[in-house]
Amino acid sequence: MAEISSFASQIQSSEPIFSNANFSELAVIEHLHHADLYSACDDEIPTIDYSLLFSDSPNQQLHALQCLRHACLEYGFFYLVNHSIPDGVFDNILNGVSDFFDQTTLNERRIYSKRSPSDRIRWELNSSTGENREYLKVVAHPQSHFPSNPSGFSKILEEYGKEMRRIVIELARAVSKSLGFEEHFVEKALELKSGFDVLAMNLYPPNAKSKGAVGLPQHTDPGFIITLVQDVNGGLQILSHKGNWINAYIPHHAILIQLGDQLEILTNGMYKSHIHRVIVDNNKVQRISVVGLHGPSLDRLINPNAKFVDEKHLKKYREMTFKEFLEVNGDDEVDVQSSLEQARLL
Protein backbone atom coordinates (compact mmCIF):
# COMPACT_ATOMS: atom_id res chain seq x y z
CA MET A 1 0.00 0.00 0.00
CA ALA A 2 1.28 3.44 -0.90
CA GLU A 3 2.26 5.86 1.81
CA ILE A 4 -0.52 8.36 2.52
CA SER A 5 0.53 11.97 1.91
CA SER A 6 0.22 14.75 4.49
CA PHE A 7 -2.43 16.38 2.29
CA ALA A 8 -4.70 13.31 2.33
CA SER A 9 -7.01 14.06 5.23
CA GLN A 10 -7.52 17.68 4.17
CA ILE A 11 -8.03 16.88 0.49
CA GLN A 12 -10.52 14.12 1.24
CA SER A 13 -12.36 15.94 4.05
CA SER A 14 -15.30 16.87 1.82
CA GLU A 15 -15.13 14.03 -0.71
CA PRO A 16 -15.46 10.25 -0.19
CA ILE A 17 -12.72 7.96 -1.49
CA PHE A 18 -15.36 6.27 -3.63
CA SER A 19 -17.88 7.95 -5.88
CA ASN A 20 -21.41 6.79 -5.03
CA ALA A 21 -22.87 7.84 -8.36
CA ASN A 22 -24.12 4.87 -10.35
CA PHE A 23 -23.22 6.49 -13.66
CA SER A 24 -23.22 4.46 -16.86
CA GLU A 25 -22.07 6.33 -19.93
CA LEU A 26 -23.45 3.65 -22.20
CA ALA A 27 -26.86 3.98 -20.55
CA VAL A 28 -26.73 7.72 -21.07
CA ILE A 29 -26.01 7.23 -24.76
CA GLU A 30 -28.94 4.83 -25.02
CA HIS A 31 -31.14 7.39 -23.28
CA LEU A 32 -30.08 10.02 -25.81
CA HIS A 33 -30.65 7.71 -28.76
CA HIS A 34 -33.76 9.52 -29.94
CA ALA A 35 -32.47 13.01 -29.16
CA ASP A 36 -30.40 15.32 -31.33
CA LEU A 37 -27.10 13.49 -31.07
CA TYR A 38 -25.07 16.40 -32.40
CA SER A 39 -26.28 19.12 -30.05
CA ALA A 40 -24.23 20.23 -27.06
CA CYS A 41 -24.39 22.87 -24.33
CA ASP A 42 -21.85 25.43 -23.18
CA ASP A 43 -21.59 24.32 -19.55
CA GLU A 44 -18.49 25.42 -17.69
CA ILE A 45 -15.43 23.17 -17.71
CA PRO A 46 -13.10 23.38 -14.66
CA THR A 47 -9.82 25.26 -14.99
CA ILE A 48 -6.78 24.11 -13.02
CA ASP A 49 -3.82 26.42 -12.44
CA TYR A 50 -0.78 24.19 -12.92
CA SER A 51 1.55 26.59 -11.10
CA LEU A 52 -0.54 26.45 -7.91
CA LEU A 53 -0.34 22.64 -7.79
CA PHE A 54 3.35 23.10 -7.00
CA SER A 55 3.15 26.38 -5.09
CA ASP A 56 5.52 27.04 -2.21
CA SER A 57 2.47 28.14 -0.24
CA PRO A 58 0.92 25.10 1.51
CA ASN A 59 -2.51 26.74 1.48
CA GLN A 60 -2.39 27.53 -2.24
CA GLN A 61 -1.18 24.02 -3.06
CA LEU A 62 -3.85 22.42 -0.89
CA HIS A 63 -6.60 24.45 -2.54
CA ALA A 64 -5.28 23.60 -6.02
CA LEU A 65 -5.17 19.88 -5.17
CA GLN A 66 -8.73 20.03 -3.86
CA CYS A 67 -9.81 21.67 -7.13
CA LEU A 68 -7.98 18.97 -9.08
CA ARG A 69 -9.69 16.23 -7.08
CA HIS A 70 -13.09 17.83 -7.67
CA ALA A 71 -12.39 18.12 -11.42
CA CYS A 72 -11.32 14.48 -11.63
CA LEU A 73 -14.26 13.19 -9.57
CA GLU A 74 -17.06 15.29 -11.00
CA TYR A 75 -15.89 15.88 -14.57
CA GLY A 76 -12.95 13.74 -15.70
CA PHE A 77 -11.59 16.60 -17.77
CA PHE A 78 -10.34 20.16 -17.23
CA TYR A 79 -8.40 23.02 -18.76
CA LEU A 80 -4.80 23.38 -17.59
CA VAL A 81 -3.40 26.92 -17.51
CA ASN A 82 -0.11 28.48 -16.36
CA HIS A 83 1.59 25.23 -17.29
CA SER A 84 5.00 26.77 -18.13
CA ILE A 85 5.21 25.49 -21.73
CA PRO A 86 6.35 28.48 -23.84
CA ASP A 87 3.79 29.88 -26.27
CA GLY A 88 6.27 29.35 -29.10
CA VAL A 89 6.14 25.57 -28.59
CA PHE A 90 2.37 25.59 -29.25
CA ASP A 91 2.71 27.90 -32.23
CA ASN A 92 5.46 25.75 -33.72
CA ILE A 93 3.57 22.46 -33.37
CA LEU A 94 0.33 23.84 -34.83
CA ASN A 95 2.16 25.50 -37.72
CA GLY A 96 4.23 22.37 -38.28
CA VAL A 97 1.14 20.16 -38.42
CA SER A 98 -0.49 22.59 -40.84
CA ASP A 99 2.58 22.39 -43.10
CA PHE A 100 2.57 18.59 -42.93
CA PHE A 101 -1.06 18.51 -44.09
CA ASP A 102 -0.37 20.80 -47.06
CA GLN A 103 -2.72 19.60 -49.81
CA THR A 104 0.01 19.90 -52.45
CA THR A 105 2.01 17.13 -50.72
CA LEU A 106 -0.86 14.67 -50.22
CA ASN A 107 0.76 11.91 -52.28
CA GLU A 108 4.00 12.19 -50.29
CA ARG A 109 2.11 11.37 -47.09
CA ARG A 110 0.75 8.12 -48.50
CA ILE A 111 4.04 6.37 -47.67
CA TYR A 112 2.80 6.34 -44.07
CA SER A 113 -0.43 4.47 -44.86
CA LYS A 114 -0.84 1.30 -42.83
CA ARG A 115 1.64 -1.35 -43.91
CA SER A 116 2.19 -3.60 -40.88
CA PRO A 117 1.40 -3.92 -37.16
CA SER A 118 4.94 -2.72 -36.42
CA ASP A 119 4.27 0.74 -37.87
CA ARG A 120 5.42 3.58 -35.65
CA ILE A 121 4.21 6.32 -38.01
CA ARG A 122 0.76 6.10 -39.52
CA TRP A 123 -1.27 8.39 -41.78
CA GLU A 124 -4.89 8.11 -42.90
CA LEU A 125 -7.44 10.17 -44.77
CA ASN A 126 -11.09 9.41 -44.02
CA SER A 127 -14.08 11.10 -45.61
CA SER A 128 -17.33 9.30 -44.88
CA THR A 129 -20.60 9.71 -43.00
CA GLY A 130 -18.95 8.31 -39.87
CA GLU A 131 -15.53 10.01 -39.87
CA ASN A 132 -14.10 13.08 -41.56
CA ARG A 133 -10.46 13.82 -40.82
CA GLU A 134 -6.91 13.43 -41.99
CA TYR A 135 -4.56 12.26 -39.27
CA LEU A 136 -0.97 11.43 -38.50
CA LYS A 137 -0.05 9.25 -35.53
CA VAL A 138 3.53 8.90 -34.31
CA VAL A 139 5.11 7.11 -31.38
CA ALA A 140 6.79 9.77 -29.24
CA HIS A 141 8.05 7.74 -26.26
CA PRO A 142 9.99 5.72 -25.09
CA GLN A 143 11.55 5.92 -28.56
CA SER A 144 10.46 8.63 -30.96
CA HIS A 145 9.51 7.99 -34.59
CA PHE A 146 8.90 11.18 -36.55
CA PRO A 147 8.50 11.96 -40.29
CA SER A 148 11.50 13.50 -42.00
CA ASN A 149 9.36 15.91 -44.02
CA PRO A 150 8.60 18.75 -44.03
CA SER A 151 12.00 20.08 -43.05
CA GLY A 152 12.29 20.76 -39.34
CA PHE A 153 9.03 18.98 -38.45
CA SER A 154 10.74 16.18 -36.51
CA LYS A 155 12.56 18.74 -34.35
CA ILE A 156 9.25 20.51 -33.63
CA LEU A 157 7.63 17.21 -32.62
CA GLU A 158 10.60 16.32 -30.41
CA GLU A 159 10.44 19.67 -28.60
CA TYR A 160 6.68 19.47 -28.12
CA GLY A 161 6.81 15.87 -26.91
CA LYS A 162 9.54 16.66 -24.39
CA GLU A 163 7.71 19.67 -22.95
CA MET A 164 4.36 17.87 -22.74
CA ARG A 165 5.89 14.78 -21.15
CA ARG A 166 7.38 16.96 -18.40
CA ILE A 167 3.91 18.33 -17.65
CA VAL A 168 2.36 14.84 -17.70
CA ILE A 169 4.84 13.44 -15.16
CA GLU A 170 4.23 16.40 -12.84
CA LEU A 171 0.46 15.99 -13.25
CA ALA A 172 0.81 12.33 -12.27
CA ARG A 173 2.35 13.48 -9.01
CA ALA A 174 -0.45 15.98 -8.42
CA VAL A 175 -3.10 13.35 -9.23
CA SER A 176 -1.44 10.99 -6.76
CA LYS A 177 -1.67 13.63 -4.04
CA SER A 178 -5.30 14.37 -4.95
CA LEU A 179 -6.04 10.68 -4.29
CA GLY A 180 -4.34 10.86 -0.89
CA PHE A 181 -1.20 8.94 -1.89
CA GLU A 182 2.45 9.88 -1.91
CA GLU A 183 3.34 11.80 -5.06
CA HIS A 184 4.99 8.95 -6.99
CA PHE A 185 2.08 6.51 -6.63
CA VAL A 186 0.59 6.88 -10.14
CA GLU A 187 3.99 7.27 -11.77
CA LYS A 188 5.17 3.96 -10.29
CA ALA A 189 1.87 2.10 -10.70
CA LEU A 190 1.81 2.83 -14.44
CA GLU A 191 5.59 2.90 -15.02
CA LEU A 192 5.23 6.28 -16.72
CA LYS A 193 8.97 6.86 -17.06
CA SER A 194 8.99 4.15 -19.74
CA GLY A 195 5.43 4.91 -20.83
CA PHE A 196 4.14 4.42 -24.37
CA ASP A 197 3.13 7.82 -25.76
CA VAL A 198 1.50 8.52 -29.11
CA LEU A 199 0.93 11.95 -30.67
CA ALA A 200 -2.14 12.06 -32.91
CA MET A 201 -2.39 15.10 -35.18
CA ASN A 202 -5.77 15.74 -36.79
CA LEU A 203 -6.99 17.96 -39.60
CA TYR A 204 -10.79 18.36 -39.57
CA PRO A 205 -12.42 19.89 -42.65
CA PRO A 206 -15.00 22.68 -42.76
CA ASN A 207 -18.55 21.38 -43.12
CA ALA A 208 -18.62 22.26 -46.84
CA LYS A 209 -15.91 19.65 -47.48
CA SER A 210 -17.04 16.90 -45.11
CA LYS A 211 -19.13 13.88 -46.08
CA GLY A 212 -21.13 13.99 -42.86
CA ALA A 213 -21.54 15.70 -39.51
CA VAL A 214 -19.06 13.50 -37.62
CA GLY A 215 -15.38 14.30 -37.57
CA LEU A 216 -14.55 11.51 -35.13
CA PRO A 217 -17.12 9.17 -33.50
CA GLN A 218 -17.63 9.02 -29.74
CA HIS A 219 -14.94 7.14 -27.84
CA THR A 220 -12.71 7.09 -24.79
CA ASP A 221 -8.93 7.04 -25.02
CA PRO A 222 -6.41 4.66 -23.45
CA GLY A 223 -3.62 5.80 -21.19
CA PHE A 224 -3.05 7.79 -18.02
CA ILE A 225 -4.20 11.15 -19.37
CA ILE A 226 -4.84 12.68 -22.78
CA THR A 227 -3.58 16.17 -23.64
CA LEU A 228 -5.10 18.27 -26.41
CA VAL A 229 -4.24 21.60 -28.00
CA GLN A 230 -5.85 23.12 -31.09
CA ASP A 231 -5.66 26.11 -33.40
CA VAL A 232 -9.37 27.06 -33.49
CA ASN A 233 -12.37 26.16 -31.35
CA GLY A 234 -15.35 24.24 -32.66
CA GLY A 235 -16.51 20.66 -32.77
CA LEU A 236 -14.96 18.95 -29.76
CA GLN A 237 -17.67 17.70 -27.38
CA ILE A 238 -17.33 15.79 -24.11
CA LEU A 239 -20.01 13.70 -22.38
CA SER A 240 -20.37 14.79 -18.75
CA HIS A 241 -21.26 12.76 -15.65
CA LYS A 242 -24.73 14.28 -15.91
CA GLY A 243 -25.24 12.83 -19.37
CA ASN A 244 -25.07 16.02 -21.43
CA TRP A 245 -22.64 16.84 -24.22
CA ILE A 246 -20.47 19.88 -23.45
CA ASN A 247 -18.71 22.01 -26.04
CA ALA A 248 -15.01 22.42 -25.32
CA TYR A 249 -13.78 25.99 -25.86
CA ILE A 250 -10.13 25.76 -24.89
CA PRO A 251 -8.53 29.05 -23.74
CA HIS A 252 -5.63 30.28 -25.86
CA HIS A 253 -2.51 28.14 -25.26
CA ALA A 254 -4.27 26.19 -22.50
CA ILE A 255 -4.25 22.38 -22.55
CA LEU A 256 -7.39 20.27 -22.36
CA ILE A 257 -6.69 17.35 -20.03
CA GLN A 258 -8.90 14.25 -20.17
CA LEU A 259 -8.50 11.24 -17.91
CA GLY A 260 -7.56 8.01 -19.68
CA ASP A 261 -8.78 4.43 -19.45
CA GLN A 262 -5.83 3.15 -17.41
CA LEU A 263 -6.36 5.77 -14.69
CA GLU A 264 -9.99 4.66 -14.50
CA ILE A 265 -8.88 1.03 -14.15
CA LEU A 266 -6.20 1.86 -11.56
CA THR A 267 -8.74 3.73 -9.40
CA ASN A 268 -11.45 1.09 -9.96
CA GLY A 269 -13.71 3.64 -11.62
CA MET A 270 -13.24 6.49 -9.15
CA TYR A 271 -11.52 8.77 -11.68
CA LYS A 272 -13.35 8.02 -14.94
CA SER A 273 -12.26 8.15 -18.55
CA HIS A 274 -14.86 10.11 -20.52
CA ILE A 275 -16.53 9.69 -23.87
CA HIS A 276 -15.88 12.49 -26.34
CA ARG A 277 -16.39 13.13 -30.06
CA VAL A 278 -15.73 15.65 -32.81
CA ILE A 279 -18.58 17.16 -34.82
CA VAL A 280 -17.69 19.09 -38.01
CA ASP A 281 -21.24 19.98 -38.99
CA ASN A 282 -20.87 23.62 -37.90
CA ASN A 283 -17.21 24.12 -38.82
CA LYS A 284 -16.69 27.21 -40.97
CA VAL A 285 -12.94 26.63 -41.31
CA GLN A 286 -10.60 23.69 -40.95
CA ARG A 287 -9.45 22.76 -37.44
CA ILE A 288 -6.15 21.26 -36.33
CA SER A 289 -5.71 19.42 -33.04
CA VAL A 290 -2.68 17.75 -31.48
CA VAL A 291 -3.61 14.96 -29.08
CA GLY A 292 -1.13 13.29 -26.76
CA LEU A 293 -2.07 9.84 -25.48
CA HIS A 294 0.23 9.31 -22.51
CA GLY A 295 0.18 5.70 -21.42
CA PRO A 296 1.84 3.21 -19.12
CA SER A 297 4.73 1.04 -20.16
CA LEU A 298 3.48 -1.45 -22.76
CA ASP A 299 4.39 -4.42 -20.56
CA ARG A 300 2.90 -3.01 -17.36
CA LEU A 301 0.03 -5.04 -15.86
CA ILE A 302 -2.75 -2.63 -14.93
CA ASN A 303 -5.52 -3.55 -12.50
CA PRO A 304 -7.49 -1.79 -9.76
CA ASN A 305 -5.32 -0.88 -6.80
CA ALA A 306 -6.35 -2.55 -3.52
CA LYS A 307 -7.03 0.88 -1.98
CA PHE A 308 -10.13 1.18 -4.20
CA VAL A 309 -11.51 -2.34 -3.71
CA ASP A 310 -13.50 -3.63 -0.74
CA GLU A 311 -16.72 -5.55 0.02
CA LYS A 312 -18.89 -2.64 -1.09
CA HIS A 313 -16.73 -1.73 -4.08
CA LEU A 314 -15.90 -4.91 -5.95
CA LYS A 315 -13.15 -5.11 -8.52
CA LYS A 316 -14.61 -3.74 -11.76
CA TYR A 317 -11.82 -4.41 -14.28
CA ARG A 318 -9.69 -7.36 -15.29
CA GLU A 319 -5.90 -7.26 -15.22
CA MET A 320 -4.27 -6.60 -18.60
CA THR A 321 -0.95 -5.28 -19.83
CA PHE A 322 -1.19 -2.00 -21.67
CA LYS A 323 -0.06 -3.79 -24.83
CA GLU A 324 -2.88 -6.35 -24.48
CA PHE A 325 -5.34 -3.53 -23.87
CA LEU A 326 -4.32 -1.81 -27.11
CA GLU A 327 -4.44 -5.00 -29.17
CA VAL A 328 -7.43 -6.91 -27.74
CA ASN A 329 -9.77 -5.66 -30.49
CA GLY A 330 -7.34 -6.52 -33.26
CA ASP A 331 -5.86 -3.02 -33.44
CA ASP A 332 -2.17 -2.17 -33.50
CA GLU A 333 -0.34 -0.35 -30.72
CA VAL A 334 -0.03 2.83 -32.78
CA ASP A 335 -3.82 2.86 -33.30
CA VAL A 336 -4.20 3.48 -29.52
CA GLN A 337 -7.84 2.39 -29.55
CA SER A 338 -9.78 1.88 -26.32
CA SER A 339 -10.92 -1.55 -25.15
CA LEU A 340 -12.35 -0.37 -21.84
CA GLU A 341 -15.59 -2.33 -22.31
CA GLN A 342 -13.62 -5.57 -22.80
CA ALA A 343 -11.72 -4.87 -19.57
CA ARG A 344 -14.88 -4.47 -17.48
CA LEU A 345 -15.87 -7.21 -15.04
CA LEU A 346 -19.03 -5.47 -13.72
CATH code, domain carrying 271: 2.60.120.330
Residue 14 has pLDDT above 80, yes or no: no
pLDDT in tens, 263-305: 999 999 999 999 999 999 989 999 999 999 999 999 999 999 9
* Residue 339 in domain: yes
pLDDT tier for residue 3 given thresholds of 50, 70 and 90: very low
pLDDT tier for residue 76 given thresholds of 50, 70 and 90: very high
Q: For a pLDDT cut of 90, what percent of the chain falls above it?
A: 86
Residue 6 has pLDDT above 60, yes or no: no
Q: What is the pLDDT of residue 9?
A: 59
Q: What is the pLDDT of residue 241?
A: 85
* Residue 10 in domain: no
* Residue 152 in domain: yes
The full DSSP string for 137-190 is: EEEEESS------STTHHHHHHHHHHHHHHHHHHHHHHHHHHTTB-TTHHHHHT
Residue 19 has pLDDT above 70, yes or no: no
Q: What is the pLDDT of residue 30?
A: 45
Domain holding 270, by residue range, is 31-343
Q: What mean pLDDT, rounded, does the chain reach?
A: 91
Q: What is the pLDDT of residue 325?
A: 98
* Residue 121 in domain: yes
Average pLDDT over residues 136-158: 97
Number of domains within the chain: 1
Residues 6+ apart with CB under 8 A from 139: 120, 121, 145, 196, 197, 198, 333, 334
Q: What is the pLDDT of residue 282?
A: 87
Distances (CA, A) of 312 to 74, 135, 287: 21, 43, 45
* Residue 296 in domain: yes
Q: Is this model's pTM higher than 0.85 or not? A: yes
Average pLDDT over residues 245-249: 96
Q: Which of 154, 127, 159 is nearest to 138 (CA)?
A: 154
* Residue 8 in domain: no
Check if the beta carbon of residue 239 is closer than 8 Å to that of residue 245.
Answer: yes
Residue 5 has pLDDT above 80, yes or no: no
Residue 191 has pLDDT above 50, yes or no: yes
* Residue 213 in domain: yes
Check if the beta carbon of residue 67 is closer than 8 Å to that of residue 87.
Answer: no
* Residue 4 in domain: no
